[in-house]
Structure 1
Amino acid sequence: FSAALISQIENRMVSPSLGTLVKIANAFDTSVSALIGGKEERAFSIVRKEDRTTVSRVGLKEGGRAAYTYEALGAGKAGRKMEPFLVRLKPLLDRNVARNSHEGEEFLFVLSGKVEVFLGRYSDVLSEGDCIYYNSTIPHHVHSTEEKEALILAVIYQGK
């Protein structure tokens, strides 16, 4: 990530993607949940629905519109290797979206809706109940294929 991107994040001009958050967390030797307000102090984690923090991913290309929102589901678990998220994917406005890549692996499970996954040169549409598991160093992008929001469970393994 660049100094310009960090400046835009700090000045709330853009919200970082999950991939960018993973890279920043790795650079600071911390977890994504710790960056968005989680406390790491227990051997287990229970995150109640009403206690989850929702973060909107807003990019410049979306014109200030959230491309997706995510909720950290592993906040409070010390020393975790995986970062679980509940992700709400908005319908895509611009099909020419940059793909992310970062260290580790990702597992995505479609809870509702349909999503299109781009993984390197490969793409596929996943429906409710479908899942994909991949090496996240491969440039990737996921979006809702319908005019409505899609809901996925995303688990990122940071490889540390």
Structure 2
Amino acid sequence: MSNDQAYKEIAPRLRGIRDAVDMTVAELAEKVGVEAALAEKYESGEIEIPVSYLMDVAHVCGVGLTVLISGNEAHLKNYALVRKGKGFSVDRRKDYDYKNLASTFVGRRMEPFMINVPAKDPADMNFTTHRGQEFIYVLEGRLELRLDDNVLELEAGDSLYFDSNTPHALRGLDGEPARMLDVIL
């Protein structure tokens, strides 16, 4: 599925879940901290929908992130095993290759992702912010992580814990991608 198709498939779920909890676009936008016009664009499928926005909507509406992304309910309550190289692929962002490592677990308190971060020019880095906290552990390669005005270089074995409200962006270094575990709380 292309990224454009993913937006178009997720958008009606956003509208449906918002309608199901009896909220207007403006009310939801205020609760998740975005402009109503931006929330409307997400619901129309016009633009890329950040995973941070989906997490915020899921939290506010009391549903799992899996429901918004895939349309399916998580169903495992005891454990969720994800084999090497597997995981629920989150094809909604051009910048990174995300795999959710707990999409089938009901009642998650965190969202663990395996993320491949491509090499790119600094000018092509896209900053994001979202509520909560984040933990990154670099598995392979070297990673540049920008936190507001701070530029950090991490390599395999390095980790970072930070406030996700801080604008942050990533890129692989040395012309190579980096692979990391990212846990969002």
Alignment match of 2:55 (pick from 22, 26, 37): 22
Range 116-125 or range 2-11, more displaced: 2-11
Is 1:143 matched up with 2:171?
Answer: yes
Q: Which runs of 5+ in 1 are unaligned?
A: 59-65
Higher share in strand: 1
Q: Deviations over 1:116-137 (max 9, x none)?
A: 1111222211011111011112
Structure-2 change in CA distance of 1:50 and 1:124 (3 Å): closer
| 1:81 equivalent in structure 2 | 109
SS in 2 for 1:126: strand
| Higher Cα Rg, which structure | 2
Contact in 2 for aligned 1:33/1:83 (Cα 8 Å): no
Structure-2 change in CA distance of 1:128 and 1:83 (3 Å): same
SS in 1 for 2:96: strand
| 2:74 equivalent in structure 1 | 40
In 2, the alpha carbon distance for the partners of 1:71 and 1:148 equals: 19
| 1:63 equivalent in structure 2 | none
Higher share in helix: 2
Structure-2 change in CA distance of 1:130 and 1:51 (3 Å): closer
| 2:182 equivalent in structure 1 | 154
SS in 1 for 2:160: strand
In 2, the alpha carbon distance for the partners of 1:2 and 1:90 equals: 30
Share of identical aligned residues, percent? 28
Q: Which runs of 5+ in 2 are unaligned?
A: 1-33
Pick 1 or 2: higher relative contact order, CA cutoff 8 A, min separation 6.
1
| 2:12 equivalent in structure 1 | none
Contact in 2 for aligned 1:106/1:156 (Cα 8 Å): yes
Q: Deviations over 1:70-120 (max 9, x none)?
A: 011011212111100001111224625442222211000111111111112
In 2, the alpha carbon distance for the partners of 1:121 and 1:93 equals: 17
Q: CA RMSD in A?
A: 2.5
Q: Deviations over 1:32-79 (max 9, x none)?
A: 233222532323212234752322344xxxxxxx31110110112121
Contact in 2 for aligned 1:14/1:57 (Cα 8 Å): no
Q: Give the structure-2-normalised TM-score.
A: 0.68
